[in-house]
Amino acid sequence: MDFHFAGIGTLINVAGIFFGGLVGVFGGKFLTEKFRVTLMDACALAVIFLGAGSTLSGLLKISGDTLNFQNAMLLIASLLIGSAVGGILDIDGKVERFGIFLRERSGNDGDTKFVEAFVTASLTVCIGAMAVIGAINDRLLHDPTILIAKSSLDMIIILVMAASLGKGCIFSCVSVGIFQGAITFFAGFLEPFMTEIALANLSTVGNVLIFAIGVNLLFPEKKIPVANFLPALIIACLWN
């Protein structure tokens, strides 16, 4: 891009999510409940298989005629240590309380699905290597193309989610703005840690969490506290 300032990629991402959410909410009003449920199940299955496929690509390695399993300890240690830290910090509870705060401030107290929609949508668009790599490139390389590509994907995902879950999905743009904005701001400090191995580990563990989000969408009666697993991403990046 000829014109650039640090954070432009995140702003485009925020705008894409906001627009997709608006279209989903208003378009969802014209859909029957049965159709919305079917749409949500389709989205859940897509997220599950995207997460599973990407995870397996990081865990399986072809060596000659043999298919070998790798990075088992990375996965186990990251999830166990990360979930323990997240549980102690009660990240999931804090994210939910932030959702309640946004629901009250936006005048949506009567929307019973608001917090669930906000948390689910926020985790879906924030977790993943694209968010981290894109935000760093935006700051250090003056290259927002990864975040622009992510914006298109997020817009479609949030559009579908918002048609089923409602207005809370729109406010995931706030989460993306804070998360990616912080990474962009601290990019100079983070760059030395974002080696090729660190990014591969981040992708592997991050995709497990994306898989878990899909499971939550498909089986809402048994929620995995995915936000409590977010420290696993840090453990994965530090793993050698």
Domain map (residue ranges) of the chain: 8-238
> How many alpha carbons lie under 13 Å from residue 106 in its C-beta half-sphere?
18
How would you label 207-217 residue by residue, b for 16+ Cβ within 10 Å and e otherwise?
A: bbbbbbbbbbb
Token pair 């208003």 in the structure block, residue? 26
Of residues 77 and 3, the one with the higher pLDDT is: 77
The 10s digit of each residue's pLDDT in 183-220 is: 999 887 877 887 888 888 888 888 898 888 888 888 87
Q: What is the pLDDT of residue 2?
A: 55
Of residues 166 and 194, the one with the higher pLDDT is: 166
Between CA 79 and CA 85 the distance in angstroms is 10
Token pair 């918002």 in the structure block, residue? 162
Global pTM value = 0.81
How would you label 69-100 residue by residue, b for 16+ Cβ within 10 Å and e otherwise?
A: eebeebbeebbeebbebbeeeebbeebbebbe
